[in-house]
């Protein structure tokens, strides 16, 4: 069963090296100055046996996407990485190709992509043209105050570590009230 719908056609690392894709950079996160923005666990969406953790992090103003040691793309085909929201993959956010089918890896997220606008990370099979897997992201509690200004009541709710969906519902309710 495929959870997602495709629309359209289908952090401050000290040791950085250019990857094989234009605009993509692999990096190593430093041991200090890293703040987790959101994280989640990959779920299988297609035939590939996708597994592992994803984490969006910030370091010295740069945003990174990290796959944990247990990451497995579940396929040897070329896999692209991008973001989505509420079960809809946004192809305009495809920003890099997975360098290794498994293991820990870190990718620089270009400034043209605002990860705060998305609540999922997607793995896209370049050959099969299918969504192989996705990770629904849960924001780290300390990031809520940095995303948008909120009332005191909303800030207290955000400190619980609710998912992006809950955060956006609260924002939508505030927007319709004002």
Q: What is the pLDDT of residue 159?
A: 36
In tens, the pLDDT along 148-169 reads 333 333 333 333 334 444 444 4
When comparing pLDDT for 98 and 46, which is higher? 98
Domain co-membership, 105 together with 160 = no
Q: pLDDT tens-digit profile of 102-135? A: 999 999 999 999 999 999 999 999 888 889 999 9
Could you tell me which of 88, 119, 91 has the C-alpha nearest to residue 8?
Answer: 91
CATH number for 27: 2.60.40
Residues 74 and 91 reside in one and the same domain: yes
Strands of 31-95 (E only): list them.
Answer: 34-44, 53-59, 62-67, 79-85, 88-89
Interatomic CA distance for residues 96 and 126, integer angstroms:
11
> Do residues 107 and 164 both lie within one domain?
no
> Domain check: are 123 and 155 in the same one?
no
- Could you tell me if 101 and 127 lie in one domain? yes
Other C-beta atoms lying within 10 Å of the C-beta of residue 33: 13
Q: Are 38 and 138 in contact (CB under 8 A)?
A: yes
11-44 pLDDT, tens digit each: 333 233 223 333 444 566 666 789 999 999 999 8
Could you give the number of structural domains in the chain?
2
Tell me the residue range of the domain where 164 lies. Answer: 141-177
Question: DSSP letter at 75?
Answer: -
């Amino acid at each position: 069963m495929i959870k997602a719908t495709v629309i359209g056609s289908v952090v401050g690392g000290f040791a950085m090296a250019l990857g094989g894709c234009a605009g993509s950079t692999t990096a190593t996160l430093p041991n200090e100055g890293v703040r987790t923005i959101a994280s989640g666990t990959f779920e299988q969406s297609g035939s590939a046996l996708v597994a592992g953790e994803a984490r969006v992090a910030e370091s010295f103003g740069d945003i990174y996407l990290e796959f944990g040691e247990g990451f497995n793309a579940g396929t040897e085909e070329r896999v692209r990485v991008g973001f989505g929201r509420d079960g809809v993959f946004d192809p305009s956010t495809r920003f890099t190709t997975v360098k290794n089918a498994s293991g820990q890896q870190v990718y620089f997220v270009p400034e043209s992509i605002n990860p705060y606008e998305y609540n999922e990370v997607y793995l896209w099979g370049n050959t099969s043209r299918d969504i192989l897997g996705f990770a629904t992201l849960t924001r780290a509690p300390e990031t809520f105050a940095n995303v948008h200004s909120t009332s005191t009541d909303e800030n207290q709710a955000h400190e619980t570590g609710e998912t992006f969906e809950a955060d956006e519902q609260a924002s939508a309710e505030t927007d319709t009230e004002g």
